[in-house]
Structures are given as C-alpha cells and as structure tokens.
Amino acid sequence: MDAVIVDLDGTMVDTLGDFDAALNATLRDLDRPTVARTDIERMVGKGSMHLLRSALAHGGLDGPSVATVLDSAWAHYQRHYRAVNGQHSEVYPGVVEGLVALRKQGLRLACLTNKPLAFARELLRTKALDVHFAQVFGGDSFARSKPDPLPVIETCRALASAPARTLVVGDSLNDAQAARGAGCPVVLVSYGYNHGAPVHDAGADAVVDRLDALPAWLGSVDRRPQ
C-alpha cells in the first residue's frame, strides 16, 4: 500500500453523542418527536441531510411533508451541530496509535467522511487528529458522497495513489461499497455504525477491533506469496 483513506464517524471518533444532542435539539425546535440514540445509530453514515430526512420520517412525516421542512431543519441542525461539535464525542481506543504507526510506515493518509467538511475539519482539530492527515474531504467536497465511489477515486487522486494501492478504512457498508466501486481494498472496524447490520457481512477484506491492528494486517498482506 502507498496510502490509506480513513473514515471519521464510527471509525476514528464515537460521535453518537454529538448527533444525539444536535439532532434532537433540531427536532424540538420544529416541534417534532425526538429520536432515541439506538435509532440514530442506524440512521447515521450517509450524511447529515440523510440523517435529518430519516429522523423526520421516523417522527411520522411522509416524503412531501419532510421536503417542506427540510430547509428549516437543515438551518437549525447546522447551528446546533456547530455548537456541540466534539463536546459529546470520544476518540476510540487505538486510533492515535494506529495513525502514528501507519505514518511511520511511510503511508500517506487522508480522512474521507460524509460529514460536512467544515464540521469534519473542526472535529479533527478538536480531537488533535488533524496532524495525521495530508488531505481531508467531507460529504460536500464532491458531487456525490459515499457509498458512491467518486469520493474515494478523487481522494486517491489527491493522494497521488493508485486505487489498488490505497486502503480504505471504515465502519460500514457505505465504506465497503465505495471502496469496491473505486477498486480499493477495504478494512472495516468491528465497532461503529453499520445501520444496525453485522459489519462482518459488509464484504470487507478484513475486520479489525482497533485501528492500531492495521499495521500488522498490512504486514501480513505484504508477506503473502504473489
């Protein structure tokens, strides 16, 4: 491998608390039913707008009704998320150690998330993870977001790395599908948010329990007979 593309929410940082605070504050502003954390965990992963649509539908609004309040909901959500970003979240064990070890191996790192870029950059800075990444891209950085392969392809281009030599690391089927579509190998973490489905069924090359297990896995791949 020449480079590694790493997801953010559910892979490096447990941000469920931030989503809970911002989303339910938004729903209360709109006089809509709030959403339980277990439901939020199944909804996250496809971007903030998808999360809002899912939460509004979960509260009983049909498609046309969701569309009529979505602009207002988005404005409220951005305000609330900006206020809580990073306050109710924690870096997963092994993340910092894993990133440091990958960089020591000479790998170029990029963070690619479906979170809006401004929020992603602020969260990485708050958690002191930004120093590890040569590139950071969000859900609004490209014309399409994961699970579409376009963001992965463009991130490979930014890293000057061929997809076949660029490992994608994430926590969900979104990451696996985007990686496969781009022609990249993919490893998923066993924790995180996979829409309530078993992550081992997502079709990754491997599933690891901690990010600091990646260097050893990469070493084992390199030692396999060709």
State pLDDT tens for residues 21-40. Answer: 999 999 999 999 999 999 99
What DSSP string runs through 128-150? Answer: T-GGG-SEEE-TTSSSS-TTSSH
Residue 158 has pLDDT above 70, yes or no: yes
Backbone angles phi, psi at 2, to 5 degrees: -105, -25
Q: Shortest CA distance to 107 belongs to which of 33, 166, 55, 59?
A: 166
Residue 225 has pLDDT above 50, yes or no: no
CA–CA distance, 36 with 73 (Å, rounded to integer): 18
CA–CA distance, 163 with 219 (Å, rounded to integer): 18
Q: Is 10 helix (H, G, I), strand (E, B) or coil?
A: coil
Residue 223 has pLDDT above 70, yes or no: no
- pLDDT tens readout for residues 130-157: 999 999 999 999 999 999 999 999 999 9
Q: In b/e form, how buried is each residue of 58-92, taking b as 16+ CB within 10 angstroms?
A: beebeeeebeeebeebeebbbebbeebbbeebeeb
Q: Shortest CA distance to 110 belongs to which of 145, 154, 44?
A: 154
Q: Which residues are catalytic?
A: 7
Which residues, 6+ apart, have CB-to-CB distance to 216 below 8 Å?
none
CA–CA distance, 9 with 18 (Å, rounded to integer): 10
- Please tell me the predicted confidence (pLDDT) of residue 65: 87
Q: What is the pTM of this model?
A: 0.93
CA–CA distance, 210 with 226 (Å, rounded to integer): 27
Mean pLDDT of 39-49: 88
